[in-house]
Amino acid sequence: MNTKKILAPVFVLVQFAAVLFAEPMVSPSWGFRIDLPEEYDYVAGDGKDKFTFHSPGGAIFELAVYPPGAPYPTPLALAADIQKRLRNKGEISEFEYRNRKAVLLELDFPAPSSTSRLSGWGLCVELESRQNGAPLLLALAYGEAGKAALQTLHLSALDSLAPSEGDRRAPGPLTEYAYPRGKRIRVSPVGLDLEAFAREHDREGAQALVEREFEVLKRAADSPQWKSAWSRFYRTIYRDSFSRLSEIAFALERHWSVTETAPVTEMAPGTTWDLAGKALKWVQSFTYERDPTGSDFVNLVSAAIEGRGDCDSRSMLWAIIMEQANIPAAIMVSADYGHAMGLIDIPGPGARFELDGVRWLVAETTAAVNLGRIEQKMSDPAHWLGIIFQ
């Protein structure tokens, strides 16, 4: 987030509102979810089993669902048939995505009505099992082979697929394929005398996703959909980071000794307010770090372990810690102010930000102030965008 470190903040109590932007598409029939980059438009399909999306730049995304059993008993059988029908020259790779069979296809095939070639990626994966077996989902993301800039868009689109509800807070299938999480390792959240666990490749995988999604975000920088694209950028990071941070968040909650039965209205040790305040002070202590030449976003696993990051990294980390403790949280970001803050749905005094029918309490993560405080010069609601991750 492009912002300057706050040196002498003057904080006031304010109340303001904002608009919620684009959301992922969920299939009521099959249970999968997809969160495509904003530049895709729906152009054809039956709204249930078949969907086709195009982008103005020439990217194509096709999705189809096949009922359990015939004609394709496995993702590999489906991929093999696609390979034959498209006359595809790319490789096929089997892998396992969160205990279900999956296949990744490298696409390199002739265009149906010209001499040019098309390239991209495809994914075949099992959906949630039913009584007669597991349905199969096929997704193809491709475009003209000479347009190398589309490759990032193809990967982002495929990786946004969540085959079942349980996958909506876990790394996407392509990220999991490219960066397997590996074995559990002991880590120490910065500045605290406690032990937690993460996976050995979590930092690498999380940062790779950040950099890829930042490239997608830049494509929409000058478009009318920039707010929706910005929302998707943070939603995608949230989805990838949530399960990576689960054991760290649990260790932090246990360390700060929150009592689940304590009334949330009490601002005393062991209350929800107390947990939110301690987590806020912790992220406020991080080293302020920016990288204007890259994504300018430290992945959340590195932020938690190494204690570094800008305002949006800290705000997202804090919000995920709250959500891991079953406390509704969100963030708000501002292009005009070059800043980001956390949001939380608990009683208590302070500035409130109305979003999706909820009056959220604000949380400043880069200056040493209490919950509910916001600097006066940043208090205009017209300059903030609220982002809910669900």
> What is the per-residue burial (b if ≥16 Cβ within 10 Å, else e) of 373-389?
bbbeebbeeeebbbbbb
pLDDT at 195 (0 to 100): 95
List Cβ neighbours of 226 (8 Å cut-off, separation of 6 or more): 220
Strands 374-375 and 25-26: unpaired
pLDDT at 310 (0 to 100): 93
Q: What are phi and psi of 137, to 5 degrees?
A: -110, 130
Q: What is the pTM of this model?
A: 0.91
CA dihedral 311, 258, 325, 282 (to 10 degrees): 10
Residues 24-41 pLDDT 10s = 899 999 999 999 999 999
- Decide: 82 and 105 in contact? Cβ < 8 Å: yes
- The C-alpha atoms of residue 265 and residue 349 are separated, in whole angstroms, by 10
Residues 313-326 pLDDT 10s = 999 999 999 999 99
Mean pLDDT by 10 residues, the chain (390 residues): 36 46 82 96 92 96 91 95 97 97 98 90 95 92 93 97 96 98 97 96 97 95 91 97 98 81 53 94 91 79 96 97 96 95 94 92 95 91 90
